Chains A and B, each alone.
Chain A
């Protein structure tokens, strides 16, 4: 039976809760209701109110309470109903959780699950990709899986990690993708990118739902004769510079792709990293395909224009390939 991306996260959470009695969940509507997206459906019935805590609508308290529990040696997994609402718990994450270890040596094992991303006509407050607020905060780890396999393996690693991890799960992938998962226990290490498709002419470096856009574009570009490599970052912090730079060095041409808006996006950091490390191997300018610097619009024609897609990637990739 193929497992969807959503079911993979659910399975990862479930296995970790069975494995470690210190793991518990807290968030809005996650108990009897099973969560807005039903990621935690069935958990309340099985694990009970002690380990599946329905909270008031208080993101600051959800994250703060997770920090307090983490400081005490528990392994809380806090759900933001939508990643967009994480701004309500921002101070707790970036000023409290992120700095405890550096300041006073206190570990805060904590996962904040953040269902992110557009393409679901969610509008400005149910579609955002706020990963960069956290990528640029030292002390946090940031994960953004693209496959069901990685989603399960990374949620398990995130729960076992002794630092706070922000786990971006793309809502658009929840029920859209599925694959056969291995029977039994496995994890995916935090901090390791993956070459999702091998190629020699051009690298598309991306993460999250855009991996699928990159793969679709690569397939079509192959018909034009271009051999495109796709690198799936999987983790944004710590960044796997080695895999990123190895791919850039190998193909000499780099297209950076993300669903997040352009300015201050991950692409800028990647471009600087590649330039600093493997400049001599580049055969063309580093190009970006990203969402524009606007809020995420609601109306389908606007949202379609906002989101990167295969056609936009192909256009830029062809230009770069022929450069």
Chain B
């Protein structure tokens, strides 16, 4: 598959590459927002999603701005608030919904839920619940890419909380020592479940950890998708050229609780208001209108189109059957 998606033919404005990129970013951010709204606020409440729901509302710019720079030889290890990575890599919204709804049509065929999914055909490795466990795995994927003589880069996603785990440090250290082509992407949304940053780490920024690994680490406005995209270009170029890993700390804010059943009472109310004004979708749309890349009516149409696409995806997912209990024992091993 090609992750650099062709510009959609119905795009109203292709005058400049930047406008086209903005439209592309908007589409994926809207799709992620709409899918997660549907998941968290409708399907979950309707009892159609039986397990955990963790959304990335307000953080859409990070998976979109980064993943749009991934190519066919690149491998992604998204974390649980990076849904758009799947969209950019060509996984259909219907399959994502079926995954949440524990249906056969999901990427794990009902064996696992929510964002715990992957598919090597799309170049995506599935996370496990112990976050940061993917970081050493990302190093291994990068070792393999180099071993195989491929020019791929690994996109390793994690949150601020993950950087407290030993796995994270072991994986980043190995990648640095071996000069592996990894872009480490931190979704710093300032809360790990209920734990604020100040109780998570003593340094001010996750990026402050970079120098300890002799690794460039930039702080990026994680709610500005074009800024994320630009920073990722720099990071990917560095990693792809054999200079070793690069870290991007994307500052953002988790506009929800940790999960769908966490009302986040521990977050000072003012923070939601403050960060709400920095919503990445609203900001991008304002920028697009200001640059005359789109008008409001066109953007409203984009919202409507995405809603329709998600309606169809929900229908597809609901039509997908639950797994047959007779398959319980299958696939523990290659042959049994």
Residues of A at under 8 Å CB distance from B? 24, 50, 53, 55-56, 58, 60-74, 76, 91-92, 95-96, 99-107, 138-139, 141, 161-163, 238
A71 to B123, CA, bound (A): 10
A26 to B243, CA, bound (A): 22
On whether the beta carbons of A96 and B332 are closer than 8 Å, the reply is no
Q: How far is the CB of A184 from chain B (nearest CB, A)?
A: 27
A101 to B119, CA, bound (A): 11
On whether the beta carbons of A69 and B141 are closer than 8 Å, the reply is yes
The A-contacting residues of B in range 160-201, CB under 8 angstroms, are: 166-167, 170-171, 173-174, 177-178
User: In the complex, which range does the number of interface residues on chain B fall in?
Assistant: 35 or more
Residues of B at under 8 Å CB distance from A? 75, 107-109, 111-112, 116-120, 125-126, 128-130, 133, 135-145, 147-148, 166-167, 170-171, 173-174, 177-178, 331-334, 336
Given A58-B174, A99-B128, 4 more A-B residue pairs with CB atoms under 8 Å apart are A67-B140, A71-B125, A95-B133, A103-B108
Partner of A104, one of B126, B145, B173: B126
A238: chain B residues within 8 A (beta carbon): 333, 336
Closest to A55 in B: B174
On whether the beta carbons of B126 and A101 are closer than 8 Å, the reply is no
Q: How far is the CB of B305 from chain A (nearest CB, A)?
A: 30
A73: chain B residues within 8 A (beta carbon): 144, 148
On whether the beta carbons of B144 and A68 are closer than 8 Å, the reply is yes
A95 to B112, CA, bound (A): 13
A58: chain B residues within 8 A (beta carbon): 136, 170, 173-174
On whether the beta carbons of B128 and A74 are closer than 8 Å, the reply is no
Q: How far is the CB of B249 from chain A (nearest CB, A)?
A: 21
Partner of A71, one of B109, B120, B139: B120
A68: chain B residues within 8 A (beta carbon): 125, 136-144
On whether the beta carbons of B171 and A106 are closer than 8 Å, the reply is no
List 30 A-B pairs, Cβ < 8 Å.
A60-B171, A61-B139, A64-B139, A64-B140, A65-B137, A65-B143, A67-B137, A68-B137, A68-B139, A68-B141, A69-B143, A70-B140, A71-B140, A74-B147, A76-B140, A91-B130, A91-B133, A92-B133, A96-B128, A101-B331, A101-B333, A103-B108, A103-B117, A104-B107, A104-B126, A105-B109, A106-B118, A107-B334, A139-B332, A238-B336
A139 to B332, CA, bound (A): 5
Q: How far is the CB of B148 from chain A (nearest CB, A)?
A: 7
On whether the beta carbons of A69 and B140 are closer than 8 Å, the reply is yes
B334: chain A residues within 8 A (beta carbon): 101, 107, 161-163
A72 to B109, CA, bound (A): 22
User: Which 5 pairs across A and B sit closest by C-beta, in order of nearness?
Assistant: A68-B140, A64-B136, A65-B140, A72-B144, A61-B170
On whether the beta carbons of A104 and B141 are closer than 8 Å, the reply is no
On whether the beta carbons of B167 and A100 are closer than 8 Å, the reply is no
A296 to B334, CA, bound (A): 36
A95 to B133, CA, bound (A): 9
On whether the beta carbons of B170 and A103 are closer than 8 Å, the reply is no
B108: chain A residues within 8 A (beta carbon): 103-105
A281 to B137, CA, bound (A): 49
A100: chain B residues within 8 A (beta carbon): 126
On whether the beta carbons of B137 and A71 are closer than 8 Å, the reply is yes
